[in-house]
Amino acid sequence: MARIESVIVHRRSVPLVRPFVTSVRRADTVDALLVEVRDADGRSGWGEAPTSWRVTGESHESVASAVAGPLTASTVGMPSDDPREASARLARAVVGNPSARMGVECAIWDLAARTAGLPLHRYLGGRADRIESDMTLSAAVTADDAEDLIRTALEHVGNGFTTLKVKTGAGGDDDAIVRRVRAAVGDAIAIRVDANQGWTPDEAVRIVNGWRDDAVGVELVEQPVHRDDIAGLAYVSERTTTPVVADESVWNARQLREVLVSRAVSRINIKLAKTGGIAEALALAELARQRDVSVFVGCMSESHVGIASAAAVASALAETGGLHGAQDLDAGLWLASSPVEGGVSYRGPWIRLSDAPGTGISSLATIAAEPGTAARIPPAARR
């Protein structure tokens, strides 16, 4: 059996098709950190390490340092067909660094699936080769923002999306914006709201119950209060019938147990950049399933590489039950181009998973390359 021989980090800056605005940031590009893990037989597995200082506490520099040091040292020399053992080693190698672990771990799972000759989603136990996604609408702050948001919502509906996710909590008139979106798109479109921790508990209850009382038709409200305010999440859940979803409050199984004890939410958004990769994401979903808490799979601002791993997880979870509605995996649609050749592709709201081994990614896309942005991380000494 071939063994993991080297780890390489590639940095690519990809323009967005439109600015992405939430309660905590605005972005015009995605600076993707792609991780390539190679084995002695010349196979490559691909992963991505999305970085967000405000969300995961990681930067490009901290990710590169973690990958070059302890994460590479933990995996170089391992068999290329043992991703669960690699996942355990990565979790022991660093404290925190979930995005860095995601990048290396997903690349190793991809490599293992390629070694087995299976698409990654089938290697994980999934059968669905396409996954439906919602589409995110940036938070609106000004009147002009609101007009752009409505135009964009109608454009997405015209492209076949049946679920829209409205970002709020950035200082605009959240109540009015959601009502305007509903009036514009009609009753057949599902509307989700993501406050990105932007409200107080009382504010959340007032706004959400107003939508309920006026039959606005909001499917769910995601992370209405600060991620550390579990009591606040429970307060909102107790006072409204609209499902409350935890995102930033739940990163791993330990935090999910705390949320479950408080009965704070009925659903969770699983993101590989929070869990540190595929193994913990699957464990989190199983714990949620045991407690009758439904899940959907989400993403950060990332490229088609990260989406390929997340969509494979969604396909696997579709077999176990508890997966809720459209997934939250539209990040690739925000990019003007993919930084890689092969892998997943989008058609309207549908993500098509590759039927090639692993994620189906074959190489970096030359059109996305920037001179000097790929940095080789030397392999650690063999164990």
**Catalytic (active-site) positions:** 167, 271
Q: Is 36 within any annotated ligand binding site?
A: no
From start to end of the chain, where are the E strands?
A: 4-21, 26-39, 44-48, 130-132, 135-137, 163-167, 190-194, 218-222, 244-246, 267-271, 294-298, 340-342, 345-347, 350-352, 361-364, 374-377
Q: Is 155 within any annotated ligand binding site?
A: no
Residue 304 to residues 38, 79, 131, 346, 379: CA-CA distances in angstroms?
19, 26, 14, 9, 26
The token pair that represents 338 in the structure block: 């993919």
Q: SS3 of 49, please?
A: coil
> Are residues 382 and 26 in contact, defined by beta-carbon separation less than 8 angstroms?
no
How many CB atoms neighbour CB 61 within 10 A?
Answer: 9
Buried b (16+ CB within 10 A) or exposed e, 257-284: eebbeeebbbbbbbbbbbbbbbbbbbeb
Beta strands 350-352 and 130-132 are: antiparallel
Rg, Å, the chain Cα set? 20
Of 324, 296, 357, nearest to 115 by C-alpha is 357
Q: Is 247 within any annotated ligand binding site?
A: yes
Residue 363 to residues 45, 156, 339, 341: CA-CA distances in angstroms?
10, 30, 9, 5
352: which DSSP letter? E
Residue numbering of the annotated binding site for Mg(2+): 194, 222, 247
